[in-house]
Chain A
């Protein structure tokens, strides 16, 4: 207690300093703290009043610090983070800072004034967005599709549940599409439409109907699948451009099916198509075989003819050559030469002849009588027992 008595003036001095400050502070907080008189009277009061004044003074000090910290926190609350795949637009008093794509803030840590001065609007900016259209698809769920379970398909379609498209030839098909697109103008995409992605999906729904309305059922399902898809893509591209959605179409995958109730009927056509193709392929293979065979026969015939020709020409040539060789000798002595040739030939011929029968003259000088039995038993081939 004596220590406290020893330094009252010092304390007062200090207090005076604080007092000035507190005064300002008081003014500021007049509305909030309706007890302004206490510090004013403090110097004249006794020690308990001084203690109260001290306590008040230090609590104001704390309030000041808290305010300072709150102000810093207020400024700090303007720090925001833009994640990968996101962009942000800073609105200052509601107006984007920057024009068009320049207004976009990339991924990272950024700072803006806290609300209500600045407002950060984050935009989903993944490279590709996807929308699906199943307005033309029958009533099913992804779970059922995953399990390959399908409800019973009745002999008619209920327009309230079953989606389908009408084809140009007045038939019914199921068709759906998956569209991927890129946001080309994120500011427009975000600020001009409550839901630009829904608008893209509506355009896709419309494109499917639009395309189906001009195709034959068989073209959509089998013959012209690609062109059907192209028409859908072209239409949806046209629509998003016309509606100025700020997106660019990347790709569009279309899937179509006949009504489930008619599956057997469509399958029978597919079977018939397969059978037709099979019959044609078989005929084509017969055609190939026949033509190859004919070509082989033809080659054989002409080759034989060619060989015969060569052989004939060559043999005649050889004959002529022999004749030319023999002629001078023949001319020298025709009778003798002919005889030599003849005997030579007979000799050679006789070696070939199987049976040679010589009939000597009978003693009386008359020719012997010879009897021949025709159609004799054929000889057995050589080497057989």
Chain B
């Protein structure tokens, strides 16, 4: 009988497991469970953990994903803006089941795919009506004040949410954003033409700007250079004048004997005048050649000293 306890433990364990499978269920994190009693929803359990239930066929459990679903509206819909532009738009939506009891009878077996299929037309009509209520400048504009990008997204979200609430789908729209904006094919062609001509204008304007800028710089350089040279000349004149004024102070000495001063200056002037390649013609009356009178050549010595 020594192995009895182990056998009993295992038997007991398996029994517990079997009963547990019949009478208990678990709610996994991020899911919600709806328990039906004879096919009618009687309980919703959205907190993770275990719960008690009666075995099939009395009660049955349905499990739903409670996470936020990413849903992209796969059609690039065209709608008219308030100022008659054809604008294509595509949005993305984050939605989740917020009331599983309401949710599961609405869609085949509470299928997420089915719900998204039903959500699509709602999204489309909300989008079209909101786009129609705004001019193009609310979507794209260089003026930040004019842009209503966020407002438009909020408006679409609100419309979708209102519709969903009205239909009592048990769905909550967590977030909604514009994913794509575009123009129809033909409009892009027109935009391309306009962009091409804008480029041409910009190109020639840039070239002209370069030329005018360059010539401005050159002219400025020339006038500045003239100014520099002129002011230097003025400074030079000033310096020279200063020199003359300073020199004039020294001339005061000459007043002590103007006769001598004149004489000395005349001598210097004469020396300066006879510096290069001069021809002097003397006769015997001019000093010191008067010494030649009488041809006494030995008297030439003092002259040659």
Interface residues of A (CB under 8 A from B): 17, 20-21, 24-25, 27-28, 64, 67-68, 71, 89, 91, 93-96, 116, 119, 121, 135, 155-160, 163-172, 191-195, 198-199, 202-203, 205-206, 209-210, 212-218, 239, 242-243, 259, 261-262, 265-266, 268-269, 271-273, 275-280, 282-284, 286-287, 290-291, 293-295, 297-299, 301-302, 304-306, 308-310, 312-313, 316-317, 319-320, 322-324, 326-327, 330-331, 334, 338, 341-343, 345-350, 352-361, 367-368, 370, 379
Contacts and interface: CB of A to CB of B under 8 A. Distances in A.
B179 A159 contact: no
B26 A93 contact: yes
Nearest to B187: A156
B181 interface: yes
Interface string B230-245: 0111011101101110
A134 B198 CA distance: 27
Query: Which residue, B49, B179, B244, B270, has most C-beta atoms of chain A within 10 A?
Result: B179
Given A269-B206, A282-B214, A357-B281, A348 B94 contact: no
A262 B192 contact: yes
A295 B225 CA distance: 8
B23 interface: no
A24 B283 CA distance: 174
Interface in B1-21: 1-4, 6-8, 10-11
B228 A298 contact: yes
Interface residues of B, number: 128
Given A157-B185, A199-B94, A203-B177, A193 B140 contact: no
A265 B206 CA distance: 13
Contacts of B185: 156-159
A160 B76 contact: yes
B274 A353 contact: yes
Interface stretch (B28-36, B120-128, B161-169): B28-36
B62 interface: no
Contacts of B233: 301
A172 B284 contact: no
A70 B109 CA distance: 37
Contacts of A24: 4, 7-8
Given A172-B191, A355-B279, A313 B11 contact: no
Looking at chain B's contact residues, is the secondary structure mostly helix, strand, loop, or mixed? helix
Looking at chain A's contact residues, is the secondary structure mostly helix, strand, loop, or mixed? helix
Contact of A67 (B10, B194, B287): B10
Given A301-B236, A308-B240, A379 B29 contact: no
A192 B94 CA distance: 11
Interface in B172-197: 174-175, 177-186, 188-189, 191-192, 194-196
Contact of B305 (A205, A341, A347): A347
B217 A206 contact: no
